[in-house]
Chain A
Amino acid sequence: MEEYPEELRTPPVALACLVGCAEVHGLITAHLHSQQPPINTIALPDFSKISMIPPKKPPRETSEPVGGIFRRDWLSKHRTRIPAVVAAFFSSHNVSGDPAQWLQVCTDLENLKATIRGRNIKLVVVVVTLSGHKDYTSEDRMIALRKRAEVDSKNLIIFVPDDELELGQSLNRLRTAVADLANAYYRDEGRRIKVRLEKRSFSSSELNVRYCFKVAVYAEFRRDWLEALKLYEDAYHALREMVGMSTKMPPIQRIVEIKTIAEQLHFKMSTLLLHSGKVVEAITWFRQHTANYRRLVGSPEVTFLHWEWLSRQYLVFAQLLETSSADVQHVPSVVSVAAEKPTEWEFHPAYYYQLAASYLKEKNVSLEFALSMSEDVGPIDGSSESVVASAYFGQFARLLEHGDTCIMQSLTDDEYVRYTLAEGKRFQDSFEIIALLKRSFEAYSNLKAERTAAYCGLQMAREYFAVSEFCNAKQIFDNVASLYRREGWLLSLWEVLGYLRECSRGISSAKDFIEYSLEMAALPVTSDAFEPSSKDCGPAGPATLSQRAKIHKEAFEVARGESELNLKEQNNELKVNSDYPLYLEIDLVSPLRVVLLALVAFHQPVVKPGAPSLITISLRSQLPTNVEIDQLEVQFNQSECNFIIGNGKKPHIAAISNIQPGRRVETAPSLVLATNKWLRLTYEIKSDHSGKLECIYVIARIGPHFTICCRAESPASMNDLPLWKFENLVETIPTKDPGLAFSGQKAIQVEEPDPQVDLILGSSGPALVGESFILPVTVSSKGHAVYSGELKINLVDTRGGGLLSPREEEPFSADNLHVELVDISCHVPEDQTEAPPDNIQKIQPSFGLISVPSLDVGESWSCKLKIKWNRPKPIMLYASLGYYHQSGEPNLQKVHVHKSLQIEGKTAVTISHRYLLPFRQDPLLLSKVKSVSEPDQIPSLALNDLTMLIVSAKNCSEVPLRLLSVSIEKEEDNDACAVQPQHEEFRDPVVHVPGEEFKKVFTVIPKLNCTRLKIGTVCLRWQRDSRVEEQYDSCDNASQVTKHRLPDVNIELPPLVVSLECPPHATLGNPFAYSVKIHNQTEFLQEIKFSIADSQSFVLSGPHNDTIFVLPRSTHVLSYMLVPLGLGSLQLPRVTVTSVRYSAGLHTSPASSIVFVYPSKPHFGANDTRETRRDSFVAD
């Protein structure tokens, strides 16, 4: 686009001319230029310069032949030299001065009018006056001036430069006048020519085009874009019709001219369309334009001109598309005609850049061809130097100098062709092509169109290759090749690799050359029949099997050092020898995996140290012909396992190559790799070290200086070969055993040696909460001596709770630890006077570490773990012993013994309690009456009344316990209540078998009326009954205390206490007294209702039912006399006592109102009294 002249690239701007009064020109020029639309000006200081405006040419005679379509300088002439308006400036001093001055004004005006009349240029007359002298200008003179100038009054302007306000006004007035007149001028001019078009009064089609073009340009001057576009289109169509018309012009130059004009017209149209946002139309036009002219190649000698022209069309359109606003570009408007709808890429400049590059390439090719065809173009003859662009657009002429005058002489086609060839030779287009492709490549990459970008890259790299920039070319080719490899486009890859091979020659890299050659040789181009017509497949020749074999042979000859690699520059050669050894590395992602694939499979997953294991090494190559390997080396992570496989057919080679001493060497009968056939080698391997044994590399040596280092792969995790995976190949398995092919691994686990030491955990029953549980651990050597032994103890919650994890950072306290390891005590043998220095001992609540002294075979050592349970919880104890079975060998593996034991932690005793009121005595406790019974209600006791407290302890463990003492410890040392007995040691320890319940009765007398009385805590001391299990040590006999806190009780004064009194037993027929005592403890008179129910078993005398009043702090007694009528346990008559005040009734419990009736008076033994006195008893 830059090569177009300025006047064509930018829209035309109206031109005005300022004459006279040069001092105001700067002001006016700046003003006219800054307004919208701008107006350019030519400033002429005085009227003598008026001849600068070119005079009108005499009208052309119709018979005169038309020299060309349009003149080269017409447009610039109208833009820079022919004004639409002339503004004549006169100073008011001159206008209203003496007659001589006035005469001068009139003469100037007449001359000016004479000059501009021929071109119909409009005129504005401006009188410059200072603001002070404004009124001095004579009115008559002004009218006379206007009449002489033949202008309207609005085009006669008084210009006042020295007053800001007036200056602004006069500038605006001048601008309006100039703009109006310029518009009128261009309209008139356009109309004048348009009339000729409409009347079709032109003699040749050249004139038709020319007229259309002129009208369009005039419309553009007026900013009438629509009309301009329409007329450019007309011109374009008219031009199109001219193709093929015979004229007197030489045909080659004729086509060149037409194409040049078409290019300009199309450029104008595209610009107009794109600037008005009509992208789709512009693209459609462009398509049509290129389609119209693509076939118009012209004569064969100058084909290159055609391609250059076409390339320029694309380039210019791409640039236009790029510079037109970005947002229109990406919103393709939906066009109804689906077939003609531009496709995605046509909206992107990248597409056009790419095609511009490809046509430029085409041009290069045909230029080279044309140059080779014309032999005599070499010495540039003098004639071509003087060839210049002629007066007409798109034409060339020879400039002949005759003295001072120059004459244009038109050229013959022959001369023209010679001229263009000479010109074409001067330019090197490769870098231009690369630049275009690079823009396209970048744009496509940004659009994520990687394949199209890769194609641009490929073309770019080819161009670099053509100009011998191998480094650049190789880099791009490599990128492109990786895409083709990934997507399996063989033919494209073949071409790229062919180029890459040549590039490596160019940069003298034998390694690259061999790599690319081997990859090509191993490409899955399988048949000679593959695309028989495809001969143009890059520098490597056709993609056929035979070509692959040829490349293969060449590569191996170079690699073995048998032949030299011919380099590109100066017949240089490169040879693989000891100075330049060749080392290829093939990893899991290398494209060379197809060349050599090494799978390694151990036959077992694990092996004992020192025991032999089988290993299979499978090699496969897709190279077209057989490859013989001289030597294979297998490398492991344990380097002492490395071994070498020599080729049995070439024993001398194996001998001479650099084998480290002490290295294992095997010999295989043959090491020949055939195409797609597995070479399987199975050997035994031993490792003395436990841990992982992994095969890392399989290194193949071919010839003295060629090494391929191939990373070993496991058959189980082998990926498909790239490219070959799309081929229909015979599936082969790498190992003989198909199972191994699917599961084989390149690594094996070498186990550690079997331990020959016993670790015994002295298993015992469950542990009891609170006690220090002793667990003996014994290490006894059976066949190994123990050196640097370490015993690790771990306590783990069996339910997986993290409570005991040693990782917990928070400080441990006895409260939140359920189980803790308290101590590890061990016997230090007496003969060892000092402990070994490495006797580490580390104890954490759930983790312990202790060092084990050295033991000889047959010795044993033990220690005791002391574990304390704070809560009942089952735990898992893990003990692991690590040791060396030989001392002094640092690289020896430690042997580990692991043992675990689950230990249940249980609560030994559970203590419960209950309160019991004295027999047949019921205090009225108001809190019981008021509230409905709730489960968590605290019990109420009567003040100053004796209450029984029964504490029962149940043995929940599985072992018998011995109870030592029981006591109630008061929390506060006060006399709030009296508890008897406080403490009791059992003289004969009570043996408490599992499941048994032990009860102890205390009496409690509350002495203080309070709502929450703390009674105290029951403390029960016990220990395991050592008489049963003798193996427990003395430290185990320390007694444990189980505590049970008694809940708080509510003490209140009962207002009424009812007690029943009757003898413990009765005799049939004998009357006995039965009384109900109602004791009123309040200060009020209490109204009491009572009733007694009749009973069949007794004859009853006394009040049956009544309401009585009990005086304050007194006792009322209801007395009855009863005579029993039946035998055995009889229910006494039920007495119901109801307090009216508290509306509470007394319902005696059935158990407390039973009396046993003997048939006759019984006789009791003397020792019965002891039974009743005993306080504590053992219930069943």
Chain B
Amino acid sequence: MIVCVAVVGHQNNPLYIQSFTESDDVLKLHHIVHCSLDVVDERVNNPKKSGPTLNETFLGLLYPTENYKVYGYLTNTKVKFILVTTDLDVRDADVRNFFRSFHAAYVDAVSNPFHVPGKKITSKVFAKRVSGIVQTFGLSSAG
């Protein structure tokens, strides 16, 4: 189950962060997302020499915390997407698919002429769409 998704801006500031959990660990999820930015920085600054990762937006598993797995994605405008999930057995393809549709939703949201780049995303449509994507996560592969 996805417990948290976040869009992080250029100054490493959260543009959109939404958790999908009933319990009181929102703050903990904020911390997890924030700490994972260090790994993103590390990956972006020291790219592995291997070829296919050069232009890859999907950053892969950032770090396994004890109960969560954190995945990252870096758009070509250097906006970071972070996904936190409690599923310990996640297929890479599912995560890639998730990020792809999440990216599309993000692009639509920031294409809104009333959105000011660099400000938080407050669009309700975006939030609804993200919840939809989150709920369908992993279903396609299960079926």
Q: Which of B19, B38, B43, B63 contacts A450 (CB 8 A)?
A: B38
Q: Is the CB of B13 within 8 A of A726?
A: yes
Among A154-162, A488-496, A769-777, A997-1005, the stretch that binds chain B is A488-496
Please name all residues of chain A whose beta carbon is closer than 8 Å to the beta carbon of B60 when the two chains form the complex: 338
Please name all residues of chain A whose beta carbon is closer than 8 Å to the beta carbon of B15 when the two chains form the complex: 726
Minimum Cβ distance to chain B for residue A622 (Å): 16
User: Does B37 sit at the interface, judged by CB under 8 A?
Assistant: yes
Minimum Cβ distance to chain A for residue B53 (Å): 10
Q: Which of A346, A444, A726 contacts B9 (CB 8 A)?
A: A726
User: Does A355 sit at the interface, judged by CB under 8 A?
Assistant: yes
With A537-B27, A726-B15 known to touch, is A343 a contact of B62 (CB < 8 Å)? yes
- With CB as the reference atom, state the residue of chain B lying closest to A535: B24
Docked Cα-Cα span, A255 to B27, in Å, equals: 34
CB proximity to A under 8 Å, residues B84-138: 92, 116, 118-120, 122
Interface flags for B6-36 (1: CB within 8 Å of A; 0: not) read 0001011111000101111111001100110
With A492-B27, A533-B26, A728-B119 known to touch, is A487 a contact of B11 (CB < 8 Å)? yes
Q: Is the CB of A343 within 8 A of B61?
A: yes
Docked Cα-Cα span, A345 to B64, in Å, equals: 9
User: Does A451 sit at the interface, judged by CB under 8 A?
Assistant: yes
Please name all residues of chain B whose beta carbon is closer than 8 Å to the beta carbon of A486 when the two chains form the complex: 11
CB proximity to A under 8 Å, residues B52-96: 60-64, 66, 92
User: Does A293 sit at the interface, judged by CB under 8 A?
Assistant: no
Q: Which of B11, B22, B39, B119 contacts A343 (CB 8 A)?
A: B39
With A449-B38, A495-B27, A726-B13 known to touch, is A345 a contact of B63 (CB < 8 Å)? yes
User: Does A531 sit at the interface, judged by CB under 8 A?
Assistant: yes
Minimum Cβ distance to chain B for residue A544 (Å): 13
Please name all residues of chain B whose beta carbon is closer than 8 Å to the beta carbon of A338 when the two chains form the complex: 60, 92
Docked Cα-Cα span, A268 to B108, in Å, equals: 55
Docked Cα-Cα span, A535 to B27, in Å, equals: 9
Q: Which of A355, A450, A452, A492 contacts B30 (CB 8 A)?
A: A492
- The DSSP consensus for interface residues of chain A is helix
Q: Is the CB of A726 within 8 A of B64?
A: no
Q: Is the CB of B31 within 8 A of A455?
A: yes
User: Does A655 sit at the interface, judged by CB under 8 A?
Assistant: no
Interface flags for A327-351 (1: CB within 8 Å of B; 0: not) read 0000000100011000111100001
Q: Is the CB of A533 within 8 A of B63?
A: no
User: Does A1030 sit at the interface, judged by CB under 8 A?
Assistant: no
Minimum Cβ distance to chain A for residue B56 (Å): 12
User: Does A536 sit at the interface, judged by CB under 8 A?
Assistant: yes
Q: Is the CB of A491 within 8 A of B27?
A: yes
- With CB as the reference atom, state the residue of chain A lying closest to B115: A728
Docked Cα-Cα span, A726 to B42, in Å, equals: 25
Q: Is the CB of A534 within 8 A of B13?
A: no
Interface flags for A761-783 (1: CB within 8 Å of B; 0: not) read 00000000000000000000000
Q: Which of B30, B34, B118 contacts A726 (CB 8 A)?
A: B118
Docked Cα-Cα span, A533 to B92, in Å, equals: 30
Which of A451, A531, A537 has its CB near the most chain B CB atoms (within 10 A)?
A451
With A338-B60, A452-B35, A537-B27 known to touch, is A294 a contact of B66 (CB < 8 Å)? yes
Minimum Cβ distance to chain A for residue B20 (Å): 10
Q: Is the CB of B30 within 8 A of A728?
A: no
Interface flags for A522-562 (1: CB within 8 Å of B; 0: not) read 00000000010111111000000000000000000000000
Q: Is the CB of B27 within 8 A of A536?
A: yes
With A338-B92, A726-B118 known to touch, is A489 a contact of B27 (CB < 8 Å)? no
User: Does A727 sit at the interface, judged by CB under 8 A?
Assistant: yes
Minimum Cβ distance to chain A for residue B72 (Å): 11
Q: Which of A334, A451, A454, A727 contacts B120 (CB 8 A)?
A: A727
- With CB as the reference atom, state the residue of chain A lying closest to B19: A531
With A492-B31, A533-B24 known to touch, is A728 a contact of B122 (CB < 8 Å)? yes
Please name all residues of chain B whose beta carbon is closer than 8 Å to the beta carbon of A458 when the two chains form the complex: 31
Please name all residues of chain B whose beta carbon is closer than 8 Å to the beta carbon of A449 when the two chains form the complex: 35, 38-39, 41-42
Which of B38, B50, B64 has its CB near the most chain A CB atoms (within 10 A)?
B38
- With CB as the reference atom, state the residue of chain A lying closest to B92: A339
Q: Is the CB of A488 within 8 A of B13?
A: yes
Docked Cα-Cα span, A489 to B50, in Å, equals: 34
Please name all residues of chain A whose beta carbon is closer than 8 Å to the beta carbon of B35 when the two chains form the complex: 449, 451-452, 455
With A451-B37, A531-B26 known to touch, is A344 a contact of B42 (CB < 8 Å)? yes
Q: Which of B26, B39, B42, B116 contacts A491 (CB 8 A)?
A: B26
Please name all residues of chain A whose beta carbon is closer than 8 Å to the beta carbon of B24 when the two chains form the complex: 533-536
Docked Cα-Cα span, A492 to B30, in Å, equals: 7
CB proximity to B under 8 Å, residues A313-366: 334, 338-339, 343-346, 351, 355
Please name all residues of chain A whose beta carbon is closer than 8 Å to the beta carbon of B13 when the two chains form the complex: 487-489, 726
Please name all residues of chain B whose beta carbon is closer than 8 Å to the beta carbon of A726 when the two chains form the complex: 9, 13, 15, 118-120
Q: Is the CB of B39 within 8 A of A344?
A: yes
Please name all residues of chain A whose beta carbon is closer than 8 Å to the beta carbon of B119 when the two chains form the complex: 725-728
Which of A452, A486, A535 has its CB near the most chain B CB atoms (within 10 A)?
A452
- With CB as the reference atom, state the residue of chain B lying closest to A524: B120
Minimum Cβ distance to chain A for residue B25 (Å): 8
With A343-B39, A451-B38, A728-B116 known to touch, is A487 a contact of B66 (CB < 8 Å)? no
CB proximity to B under 8 Å, residues A450-471: 450-452, 454-455, 458
Please name all residues of chain A whose beta carbon is closer than 8 Å to the beta carbon of B27 when the two chains form the complex: 491-492, 495, 534, 536-538
Please name all residues of chain B whose beta carbon is closer than 8 Å to the beta carbon of A444 when the two chains form the complex: 38
Minimum Cβ distance to chain B for residue A676 (Å): 15
Minimum Cβ distance to chain A for residue B65 (Å): 8
Minimum Cβ distance to chain A for residue B51 (Å): 13
Docked Cα-Cα span, A538 to B24, in Å, equals: 12
Which of B30, B37, B63 has its CB near the most chain A CB atoms (within 10 A)?
B30
With A343-B39, A487-B13, A535-B24 known to touch, is A355 a contact of B63 (CB < 8 Å)? no
Docked Cα-Cα span, A727 to B122, in Å, equals: 9
Q: Is the CB of B14 within 8 A of A488?
A: yes
Please name all residues of chain A whose beta carbon is closer than 8 Å to the beta carbon of B116 when the two chains form the complex: 728
Docked Cα-Cα span, A287 to B23, in Å, equals: 26
Interface flags for A173-198 (1: CB within 8 Å of B; 0: not) read 00000000000000000000000000
Interface flags for A194-211 (1: CB within 8 Å of B; 0: not) read 000000000000000000
Docked Cα-Cα span, A726 to B31, in Å, equals: 19
Docked Cα-Cα span, A450 to B42, in Å, equals: 11
With A455-B31, A488-B13, A726-B9 known to touch, is A533 a contact of B118 (CB < 8 Å)? no
Interface flags for A712-728 (1: CB within 8 Å of B; 0: not) read 00000000000001111
Please name all residues of chain B whose beta carbon is closer than 8 Å to the beta carbon of A491 when the two chains form the complex: 26-27, 30
- With CB as the reference atom, state the residue of chain A lying closest to B37: A451
Q: Is the CB of B22 within 8 A of A533?
A: yes
Docked Cα-Cα span, A334 to B48, in Å, equals: 10
Please name all residues of chain B whose beta carbon is closer than 8 Å to the beta carbon of A355 when the two chains form the complex: 66
- With CB as the reference atom, state the residue of chain A lying closest to B9: A726
CB proximity to B under 8 Å, residues A436-456: 444, 449-452, 454-455
Minimum Cβ distance to chain B for residue A295 (Å): 11
Please name all residues of chain B whose beta carbon is closer than 8 Å to the beta carbon of A452 when the two chains form the complex: 35, 38
Q: Is the CB of B66 within 8 A of A346?
A: no
- With CB as the reference atom, state the residue of chain A lying closest to B69: A343
Please name all residues of chain B whose beta carbon is closer than 8 Å to the beta carbon of A343 when the two chains form the complex: 39, 61-64
- With CB as the reference atom, state the residue of chain B lying closest to A342: B64
Q: Is the CB of B34 within 8 A of A492?
A: yes
Q: Show the binding face of A for B, using Cβ within 8 Å.
A: 287, 294, 334, 338-339, 343-346, 351, 355, 444, 449-452, 454-455, 458, 486-492, 495, 531, 533-538, 725-728
7 A-B pairs, CB-CB below 8 angstroms? A338-B92, A339-B61, A343-B63, A343-B64, A346-B64, A495-B27, A536-B25
Q: Show the binding face of B for A, using Cβ within 8 Å.
A: 9, 11-15, 19, 21-27, 30-31, 34-35, 37-39, 41-43, 50, 60-64, 66, 92, 116, 118-120, 122
Given contacts A531-B26, A534-B24, A725-B118, 10 further A-B contacts (CB under 8 A): A339-B92, A343-B61, A346-B63, A355-B66, A451-B37, A454-B34, A534-B26, A726-B15, A726-B120, A728-B122
Q: 3 tightest CB-CB pairs across the interface, nearest first?
A: A488-B13, A449-B38, A534-B26
